[in-house]
Structure 1
Amino acid sequence: MLENIGKFVHFLASGFGENRTGKAGKTKRPRTVEDTIQVLEPLATLITDWPKGFESHVEQQLRAGNPNAASAPDRLGNWYHRLMQFRDPAYAPFKEAVGRVVEREFKGSHPGRLVSSETRDWLPAKTVAERLGVSPQRLVEAVQKGEIAGKINKSGFGHQHVVIPKFEVAVIASERRAFWSGMQAREFLGVGRKQFDLLRECGVIFEVPESERPVLADGRFFSTSLIELVAHIRVAATDAGGDTVAFSDLTLRRTTDKAAMKKLMELICEGTVQASAASPDAKLAEFRFLKSDVEHVLRSERHSLDWTANDVAKLTGWKAQSVTHWCKEGLLESRTVPHGTGVSFLVSPAQLATFQSRFVPVATLAKHKGTTSRKLLSEFARLGINTYGAERKDGTSRGHLIRFADLVSRQSVLASCAASD
């Protein structure tokens, strides 16, 4: 059974993607019979006139590549690296056809695994390892397994001397540059680990499976896909005015609803939520988006109308830290949701109303009566009225609550405090 035949056909079709999407390599998977016919139609010229039709297609890929590329893999770019991911022997005729075109049309370094007839200059595995930044043993094992081109010569004393063709070194170097580590990917995007993980969770960024990566490529993320992602967001940018927020600020500090934040990132990356026009070298983290667009998505995607501690603080004028403490103490009923490595508390409107019918913060009382919390607390202590929910830290306390029931029974307390002022 031929492996990945569907993916291979889609790969060939993506070479004509510019006809449908305006961007090569961006052919979407067809969903209807009509779409399928339209996508597959150009492939007829590649297959029916074999190998001439396919070799003509490779020539077009070479002409469309970077004219300053020093090697064939660099010139063919994404198309070449995707071809090399198909390792079943049945795909060898396609690779050999590419080799023939490269040997005939390209004047730079040739891809060794695609060309067998070229005169080769050889380098010792140790020298190659130093150039590429990999261990000599790793190169030797790759040659022994037939994963890269090379020769193993044995001396009369049983020593092995492994040499690798120069053009194969160019291929390996190109493949290693094409795949980035997580750190390289984050640096390119300008985002932190948590934002990067959110982008991965919503499927905008994905790790290439090890079985589909070149044997000596250490990175797990295909650089071209990340470059195209940022370019797509930049192309969709608009000049609309208004208050904006940077992508770097789109974290779970803005909302505890992870699903809503992931949806926002999906809409940004597909261009539905448009960025403001940015400089050509701006990183993803530096792109800015209309605050109204961001807040609209976060509000509409929330799974409930519950409020965070920050929301409650904005509504009431209380301290968010005190609100969180009251939730922990069980005085303010709430539910918890995961937030980073900890949890956040969500309060429903009904729960807040119940809380406000039972308690009032001493600081709120003091503000309305034109006195201080310290004076009220002293008077409460003198009259034997208890407070609740205080958070004590470093010898101080904050967030004292008083029950309305206790105030009703001691109506003279506030009057005496006002009189004493």
Structure 2
Amino acid sequence: MIRTVEPHLFEWPTAFDRYVQDLWNAPEADGQTAAARLGSWYQGLMKQTGLVADALQKRCLHIAATICGDAYGLAGHADKAAWVSAAEGARMLGIRAERIVDAVRTGVMNGRLARSGAGHQHTIVSRSDIETTRVLRSLMLDKKRARELLGVGRSQFELLLEAHVVAPVDVDVRHPCVDGSFDRDDLTRTVTVIRKNLALAGAIEEPMLAFRDLSLRKTTDKKALLTVFRAIKSGTIQARCFDSEQRLGDALFSEKEISELLAAQGAPSGMTAGEVAQITGWRPECVTHWCAEGLIVSTHGRVGGANAWLIAPADLAQFQREYLVLADVAEQGQTTSRALISRLARQGISTVGAQAVGRTTRGHLLHVTHVAHLMQLSERLEHAAG
């Protein structure tokens, strides 16, 4: 089986090299590439697999490249250790080799483009440029990693971009082999400046607001919120608590100071129906229903991209002066809303504000004037009994 190729293998690699050169220089050989000049022999060799096949293929390409006058590799460079192929550089960086080829072609990376006798384009690149690019890649972050570094959510990060608190690197100066748009060092410097602008702690404790809570859930006025972000970056508003190991989202600011700046910018200071429900313990859907019915004076707007009812603190106080939530009264009297409704009906008193939910109702309100009437009735009954 190997008798016909035995002479080419036993005198390795001289005999093999000579055979390849003979094929290359044969009268019938035509073309400029190894595939064209070596013909079916070359094509058959390239289909083989295994260690021996690998050695023969590499040697064949080496001879073809040498005959062509342009070595397929690092030949021609005195310090071969200072150079790597584009493929090897790509493996070191974890990217596609085509990106390195383009960087060398455009002059961004120091390298050389060559075409071998086998018809393949070969690119070598400076090892030091690969190392520099590796460092650059570690410093550049995409949006997801930038948000994680800052400890903020997607929507808030977009607001920070709009406020120019953070900014991507200009596309014209980005390295073609580097992913991500945000310089980690720039983000870190911005956070460090905010941390150094720490305000002196006051003698009296005051409500605090975490940076991550500064969003369109806090106010519907985006313009006012952007002003707050800019004020924090410039140091006009200073953090009250921001430890060195905390992310920006964890930094605490004076809620009063933030609210005053929002109000100065014309931002509404109302609470959403959900926030009122959280404070009072009422059902959010009941608060929303009372707003829709006009029982709670409120305005309709958008918070965080969603429709919402906004309730001013003064309007909430007025509502509580006019109405009692029957569920709260029942809980205090250790009874049920259903039982109270029946007792009130016997006195000719109806509740208001109820919302039908399936076969039942919820959110019954009792006007305070009815409470006064019941108190007077109770006094008259006691007097009659006495």
TM-score by length of 1: 0.58
Q: Structure 1 pair 220/328, CA: closer, same or farther in 2 (3 Å)? A: farther
Amino acid corresponding to residue 119 of structure 2 in structure 1: G
Q: Structure 1 pair 136/285, CA: closer, same or farther in 2 (3 Å)? A: same
Match of 1:153 in 2: 114
CA displacement, residues 313-371 of structure 1 (integer Å, 9 cap, x when unaligned): 69988555422232345654643222224222124689769978997643466579896
Q: Partner of 1:228: helix, strand, or coil? A: helix
Quote the offset at 1:374 in angstroms: 2.2
Q: Structure 1 pair 251/348, CA: closer, same or farther in 2 (3 Å)? A: closer
Quote the offset at 1:233 in angstroms: 1.0
Q: How does 1:384-399 map to 2 (within 5 A)?
A: 385=350, 387-390=352-355, 392=357, 397-399=361-363
Q: Structure 1 pair 131/314, CA: closer, same or farther in 2 (3 Å)? A: closer
Match of 1:342 in 2: 306
Matched, 1:282 2:243: no
Task: State the distance in 2 between where 1:156 and 1:144 align.
Answer: 20
- Asked if the contact 1:154–1:161 (Cα under 8 Å) also holds between the matched residues in 2, the reply is yes
- Asked if the contact 1:331–1:389 (Cα under 8 Å) also holds between the matched residues in 2, the reply is no
Q: Partner of 1:326: helix, strand, or coil? A: helix
Gaps of 5+ in 1: 1-117
Amino acid corresponding to residue 224 of structure 1 in structure 2: D
Quote the offset at 1:151 in angstroms: 1.5
Task: State the distance in 2 between where 1:397 and 1:263 align.
Answer: 44
- Asked if the contact 1:239–1:277 (Cα under 8 Å) also holds between the matched residues in 2, the reply is no
The alignment of Structure 1 onto Structure 2 pairs a total of residues equal to: 300
TM-score by length of 2: 0.62
Amino acid corresponding to residue 215 of structure 1 in structure 2: P
Quote the offset at 1:187 in angstroms: 1.8
Q: Partner of 2:90: helix, strand, or coil? A: helix
CA displacement, residues 376-403 of structure 1 (integer Å, 9 cap, x when unaligned): 223456769574442637x764312467
Quote the offset at 1:188 in angstroms: 1.5
Amino acid corresponding to residue 125 of structure 2 in structure 1: I
- Aligned-pair identity in percent equals 35
CA displacement, residues 264-311 of structure 1 (integer Å, 9 cap, x when unaligned): 222222112212354433321232223443343344444345453367
Quote the offset at 1:138 in angstroms: 2.2
Task: State the distance in 2 between where 1:136 and 1:149 align.
Answer: 15
Q: Partner of 1:188: helix, strand, or coil? A: helix
Gaps of 5+ in 2: 1-77, 382-386
Amino acid corresponding to residue 234 of structure 1 in structure 2: R
- Asked if the contact 2:220–2:304 (Cα under 8 Å) also holds between the matched residues in 1, the reply is no
Q: Partner of 1:275: helix, strand, or coil? A: coil
Task: State the distance in 1 between where 2:376 and 2:357 align.
Answer: 25
Task: State the distance in 1 between where 2:119 and 2:335 align.
Answer: 94
Task: State the distance in 1 between where 2:154 and 2:278 align.
Answer: 29
Task: State the distance in 1 between where 2:213 and 2:374 align.
Answer: 50
Q: Partner of 1:139: helix, strand, or coil? A: helix
Larger Rg: 2
RMSD over aligned Cα atoms? 4.2
Task: State the distance in 1 between where 2:79 and 2:351 align.
Answer: 93
